[in-house]
Amino acid sequence: MKSGFVAILGRPNVGKSTLLNGLINHHVSIVTDKSQTTRNNIIGIYNDEETQIVFLDTPGIHKPMQQLGKEMNNMAYSAAHDVDVAILVVDASKPFGTGDTFVIEHLDIHNVPLIIVFNKIDLARLDKTEELKKTYRAYFKDATFIDAVAKEGFNVDEVIKTVRNMLPEGPAYYPPEMITDKDEIFQIKEIIREKVLKTLREEVPHSVAIYMDHIEWEKKPMQIFASIIVEKDSQKGIVIGKNGSRIKEIGTKARMSIEKLLNQHVFLELQVKVDEGWRDAPSSLKEYGYKYEK
């Protein structure tokens, strides 16, 4: 059997989480059109008769403005260590820029088998992509290049095939029924955050964290009480909306997705709380699960 660990790395919003979900055929990592959606390393496991691939989705590497960003980058940097294969995802529709050099300079992927996935080729111009590939080839002369449209599943099987050929013989590290390392509480919080990100615009989403106040698993329907944490008083009103309309919309959408995840009816109550400047406060970062720990 072939098995191993594979990190999925790259700038924010290039399609890493979309690719992970496609590779393992499960929605384990949230996807939105906002940059810096993923804030933790998230394992997704692929299994077939002769292979187990443990993929690691990671936060998008970016120039950090707050401590939260530094923690996220550190998670991504650490994911690149001790893997059998690294996948660098690139947005093929964007020209090479400082964000790309930032990733290349900060990421230690020169001594590991590397696949570069040129994603979003549905939005790219062929000649521009060729130019981009030349630039990446100059940095990584031995990397395997794959074009993809992760959103449509195009060439996702090619990524699996290529990874499999790079993996050593090894045992299954996880039981075959396991698809992710994250528990239900993590997944519920992520679903709520996904709905917040999808409902709100611009700056507010980056200031949001979800805190699980209380769950009553045994009650019918199951009761979930969670808080949407924002950084400033002014953001509280934005999340709540006129007459509570926005938080109601977030709550309804989140409840429906949580019910799908848990396969049962749930009662979800959301409230909004202010935690001034939490993205730079070590204790808050720890509380919300964003502190990078070695």
Ligand X SMILES: Nc1nc2c(ncn2[C@@H]2O[C@H](COP(=O)(O)OP(=O)(O)OP(=O)(O)O)[C@@H](O)[C@H]2O)c(=O)[nH]1
Q: Enumerate binding residues for ligand X (CB under 6 A).
A: 12-18, 31-33, 35-38, 59-60, 119-120, 122-123, 149-151
Least Å distance, CB 137 to ligand X, is 21
Q: How many angstroms from the chain centroid is the CA of residue 155?
A: 20
E strand or H helix at 90, and its extent? strand 85-91
Work out whether 21 is an interface residue with Mg ion (CB under 5 A).
Answer: no
Distance CA 255, CA 252 (A): 5
Least Å distance, CB 56 to Mg ion, is 12
Least Å distance, CB 17 to Mg ion, is 3
Work out whether 38 is an interface residue with Mg ion (CB under 5 A).
Answer: yes
Instruction: Count Cβ atoms below 10 Å from residue 243 Cβ, excluding itself.
Output: 7
Applying CB under 5 A, what is the total number of residues that bind Mg ion? 4
Among residues 44 and 60, whose Cβ is nearest to ligand X? 60
Among residues 3 and 67, whose Cβ is nearest to ligand X? 67
Q: Are 173 and 63 in contact (CB under 8 A)?
A: no
The first and second tokens of residue 77, run together, are: 């940097």
> From Mg ion, ligand X, none, which one binds at residue 257 (CB under 5 to 8 Å depending on kind)?
none
Among residues 59 and 99, whose Cβ is nearest to ligand X? 59
Q: Are 145 and 116 in contact (CB under 8 A)?
A: yes
> From Mg ion, ligand X, none, which one binds at residue 12 (CB under 5 to 8 Å depending on kind)?
ligand X
Least Å distance, CB 223 to ligand X, is 30
Half-sphere exposure of 8 (CA within 13 A, CB side): 36
Among residues 59 and 251, whose Cβ is nearest to ligand X? 59
> From Mg ion, ligand X, none, which one binds at residue 151 (CB under 5 to 8 Å depending on kind)?
ligand X
Q: Are 278 and 231 in contact (CB under 8 A)?
A: yes
Give me the sign of the Cα torsion angle 242, 248, 251, 254. Answer: negative
Work out whether 17 is an interface residue with Mg ion (CB under 5 A).
Answer: yes
Q: What is the length of the chain?
A: 294
Among residues 2 and 26, whose Cβ is nearest to ligand X? 26
Could you report how far apart the first and last alpha carbons of the chain are, in Å? 30
Strand partners, 51: 2, 48
Q: Which residues bind Mg ion (CB under 5 A)?
A: 16-17, 37-38
